[in-house]
A and B are shown apart, each in its own frame.
Chain A
């Protein structure tokens, strides 16, 4: 589903954000990416959404080879990927409902489908009754949940979640993880970056550790936990 082959990203000549990263993620897999700040996680996600172009190496997602991707194909690629951004990236002039609906409007859903789907998704993330609020009127946690609702409403093939629990209390954080697990069960490949050790431990999924722009470990959760207790 996701294939990275010796991908390198260099900013300004001497700032190497990613150094020959290779990663293969199967369809329906749930992968947790961990690493300290500045390790290269965000750059990796930006490459996947084609926000950035790799300096070298090969990226293939869902059969799409990024080298052959034309500018006009980029929107189509992005529609296949749901992204929960670390800084939410909500549209400030749109209500909660409209922010989520926007993801569907882009792909041309009819009003009836939107009116049916959006409230259900908002219910899943616990924002029922806040449909008409503007993002500025919401708490950090609530905004994060709007971002999640927007990312999952299209039922994407791939979901990339960049620190989706960063601003949430443990209860809501866990709710969000459950939503991600649920969508993964329905067949979506999930890529999750997190700092939250408890989540990593509880999820029992594949864990990829990035450090200094390189993959330093990539193992199933059991192995990872074993490594920690050593």
Chain B
């Protein structure tokens, strides 16, 4: 074996040996890393789950355009409006609801109210046909609104478009809330990650501070910087790997337990079923990311923390 390889092999071996011989210190550091990595992982999953809930809510937001009976019956006119609406970038879907469909839906919604059903069956179908427009982003419907307010389009409608009434307020509230939640999720992840990195870095710094004499002795014996630092990096990378695996394992068992305990229900705004699915669908990505974070933080913290103990005296 050549000299370089022998040295690298010794660095890895010494790192593993130190890990075993400083087991209490290792366990303490790993415990901190497991907790922080788990928090990061949880906040990512929680934010994804919130996003999904938000998506589901925004999916339900639509604009109902009530058509005059004459327009509804005129295929050409109806198709023209639909095509024009579909041409907007912000329109995901345009659905036509005929008078009959509207009546069916009304009956279905009020089937427990025989008085209403009786009243409606005594007259001709009073419900207008409508177009349901689902926007991509409910925050940016001004363009669509402007189109619908044009006199020639307005003339085709039987009553006010439904976004302009009470629903407008509700839609605005929902979109405001969801935007806030999404931003809060991202900020939360960033804060958790920064705090976690600081905590892990500090833990490793303390562990190395405890062993600064060793570093000093190795320096006095003429060991090169990498020969001293290497084993510490190997050791803390091992912390990172173990902590990453444990954090994924903890999340895994928690989701398995919780999804069976709650039986696909949700916990407040947290849709556990979705969270569990998200976790299992992205298992490999999550595992790789956690390993990468663990290894990176471990290596960087020990490399930085050993620096000050490896410096040569420069003062005269």
Contacts and interface: CB of A to CB of B under 8 A. Distances in A.
Interface residues of B, number: 27
B22 interface: yes
Contacts, number: 66
Nearest to A108: B3
Given A108-B7, A110-B1, A110-B6, A50 B224 contact: no
B184 interface: no
A28 B314 CA distance: 31
B220 A83 contact: yes
A77 B316 contact: no
B312 interface: yes
Using C-beta atoms within 8 Å of the partner chain, give the interface range for chain A.
Answer: 20 to 34
B195 interface: no
Given A53-B316, A54-B316, A110-B1, A89 B22 contact: no
Contacts of B225: 75
B18 A71 contact: no
Interface string A56-84: 10000000000000010011111101010
A111 B213 CA distance: 26
Contacts of B214: 91-93
B220 A93 contact: no
Given A52-B313, A91-B214, A93-B18, A75 B6 contact: no
B313 A51 contact: yes
A91 B217 contact: yes
A53 B225 CA distance: 20
Contacts of A51: 220, 313
Nearest to A83: B220
A93 B21 contact: yes
Contacts of A50: 312
A6 to B, nearest CB: 14
B313 A75 contact: no
A230 B222 CA distance: 45
Given A91-B218, A108-B3, A53 B224 contact: no
Contacts of A89: 213, 217, 220
Contact of B222 (A56, A71, A79, A110): A79
Given A93-B211, A93-B214, 11 more contacts: A51-B220, A54-B316, A75-B222, A75-B225, A81-B222, A91-B214, A91-B217, A106-B221, A106-B227, A107-B222, A150-B221
Interface of B: 1, 3, 6-7, 10, 17-18, 21-22, 211, 213-214, 217-225, 227, 312-316
List the 4 closest pairs (A to B, CB-CB), nearest first: A78-B222, A79-B222, A75-B222, A108-B3
8 contacts: A75-B222, A75-B223, A75-B224, A79-B222, A103-B221, A105-B227, A107-B222, A111-B6
Interface of A: 49-56, 71, 74-79, 81, 83, 85, 89-93, 102-103, 105-108, 110-111, 150
